[in-house]
Amino acid sequence: MWWIFGIAVIGFIIYTINKEYKKEVSTKLTNQGGMLQKYSVIINHFVNGVPAKVTKVTKDSVVITASAMEIYLDYVGGNLEVELRGVAPVIGKHSKKWKYPNGYPQEKMITEIQNYCEWQANRIGNNNTSIEMISITKDATNKLLNTGLYKRISTPKSRFEILIFNAAIVAWTYVNESKYKNNLFEDYIRFLIKEAPKSDIYMKDDDLIFFINKRLKFYLSQIEILSENPTSDLGCLYYCFFKMPINDIIEREQLSDKEDQCFYNAIVEMINWTSTQTLKRL
């Protein structure tokens, strides 16, 4: 018996809410020309500016479709909800929703949404730069490791060390050109964290980040020394790359004259190639 009463109460509540909602839609939307008329400023902005077209209209919603984005305008609980859903380079699928009270100036809505879109565009641009720089780093590393001698003696951990070294070359080039970009090297850290398991490196993220930053500083100092003194001993680099990669302790490997000259040529060629490719993209 009680369950019948309970269902009746719930049904009455739903009926009341629905009745009030219809009344609100009628008062604040239908009587003002519906969604297309009431929100004509923001709708026209999207349709004419993106460009896009209105693809669906109901009494309380509008869908606007562009080539890589859909814009949803929904009147919910006395608020206008604006949601962007799309696909963009680098960041992939993305969505963002805003909620505005009834009567909120549509010009302000447009400004807030434009500011977000500009921020997102800058983010994509910066990430494109990061992708290009990381690609250079990988290409330079592969060029060295595909050389006969180093291909034979290298390990997955060697590759990781040389990736960090090439990231340091990119950083050194940026600093020399006074175009340091902090976000670029944040992206490098994320890239290297993802690469670590492929190189048989299994550390906690905090420990790995500490190691990468420590290595970057060391490699930057080695590149700077080499740029000032071309006859510098590169035994420490050889030790890190091929003797004991991913080791906190750095020692100087004693190389024969032939080995030293071969390694020196390879390092100089790698620095020159990576720096040249980086400069082309500045």
Q: Tell me the β-bridge partners of 100.
A: 80
From the number of C-beta atoms within 10 Å of its C-beta (0-12, 13-18, 19+), residue 20 rates as exposed
Q: Is the pLDDT of residue 125 over 70?
A: no
pLDDT tens profile 258-281? 888 999 989 999 999 888 888 887
Q: What is the mean pLDDT of residues 44-49?
A: 84
pLDDT of residue 251: 94
Q: Is the pLDDT of residue 209 over 70?
A: yes
Cα-to-chain-centroid distance, residue 278? 19
pLDDT of residue 97: 92
Q: What is the pTM of this model?
A: 0.55
pLDDT tens profile 158-207? 999 999 998 889 888 877 766 555 556 677 787 888 888 888 888 887 88
Q: Is the pLDDT of residue 23 over 60?
A: no
pLDDT of residue 9: 39
Higher pLDDT, 34 or 124: 34
DSSP-derived 3-state class of residue 70: strand
Backbone angles phi, psi at 49, to 5 degrees: -90, -30
Contact criterion met (CB below 8 Å) for 97 and 113 = no
pLDDT tens profile 210-265? 999 899 999 999 998 988 888 888 999 999 999 999 999 999 999 998 888 999 98
pLDDT tens profile 70-122? 899 998 888 899 998 876 544 456 788 999 998 899 999 998 988 887 776 65
pLDDT of residue 14: 42
| DSSP annotation of 280 | H
pLDDT of residue 134: 77
Strand order in the sheet with 61-65: 53-58, 61-65, 69-76, 79-88, 92-101
pLDDT of residue 13: 39
pLDDT tens profile 138-152? 888 888 888 777 888
CB atoms within 10 A of CB 271: 20
pLDDT of residue 90: 44
